[in-house]
Amino acid sequence: MAVLGLEVSSFFKYFLVVLTGFSVLVLGSGKIIAQTNTVPVESNNFQENLRRSILVISNEKIFNSTELGKALIKKLKEGEEILRIEADQVESYFVKEEQELTKDRLSMSSEEFVKLSEDFDRRVEIERLNQRQKEQVIKQRYNKWKRDFRDIYIIPVVEKFMQLYGASIVIDIDSQAFRSVIVDSRVNITDRVISQMNTSYYDIEELLNNITLQ
């Protein structure tokens, strides 16, 4: 899908590298600039060139603010709600069974009661593990959705802004390595990325299916 009316050249795509660990996009053979508390400015030209070469975004804000991101969050909550209802139903079943077992205790032998109690505890533990596994599946699926959202939908838009501004690096200011970095608001393109994504990716239902049904 074309974004901002520009085509991404094969040259650009070949040299664009996504460094997930540091959440930095690097274009060409430029070096990653290490985080420091103070950066000496040698000249006005140096300062302007540096400003133009680096852009920053907030991946979390983009995810939470775009229509597609909000649709994915809603999808997650729907899955969590289904799992919660299921867990409540299972809990109610076991509570009722436990009450009946306690009520019938006086009419049982000790051996029979112990046997039934152990079986009850075993089934409760199995169900508890089953619920945890389902929670883990939902979490893993959601993390994959977020990765696909970033890789398939955020990065192409960011690439266009990199071309537009002549930038070689885009930093995710939500990443741990860059949370303490103070940046000029003029290089923060988060809101522009959000606006462009909402304009370009308008068929939310189709895009949602593309991500969640993989």
In a domain, 147, yes or no: no
Instruction: Name the domain boundary from 90, 117, 142.
Output: 142
Q: What single string gives the DSSP state of each residue in 155-208?
A: HHHHHHHHHHHT-SEEEETTSGGGTT----GGGB-HHHHHHHHHHH---HHHHH
pLDDT tens digits along 42-95: 456 655 555 568 899 999 999 999 999 999 999 999 999 999 999 999 999 999
One domain, residues 159 and 64:
yes
pLDDT tens digits along 94-124: 999 999 999 998 889 999 999 999 999 999 9
Q: What are phi and psi of 171, to 5 degrees?
A: -105, 135
In a domain, 57, yes or no: yes
Residue 61's SS3 state is helix
Residue 31's SS3 state is coil
One domain, residues 61 and 87:
no
In a domain, 49, yes or no: yes
Q: What pLDDT sits at residue 214?
A: 74
Q: What percent of the chain has pLDDT over 70?
A: 76
pLDDT tens digits along 129-180: 999 999 999 999 999 999 999 999 999 999 999 999 889 899 999 887 777 7
The tokens for 75 are: 């999808």
**Which amino acid is residue 26, in one-letter code?**
V
Q: Is 4 left (phi over 0), alpha (psi -120 to 50) or beta?
A: left
One domain, residues 61 and 161:
yes
> How many independent structural domains does the chain possess?
2
One domain, residues 170 and 64:
yes
Structural domain span for residue 190:
10-68+154-212
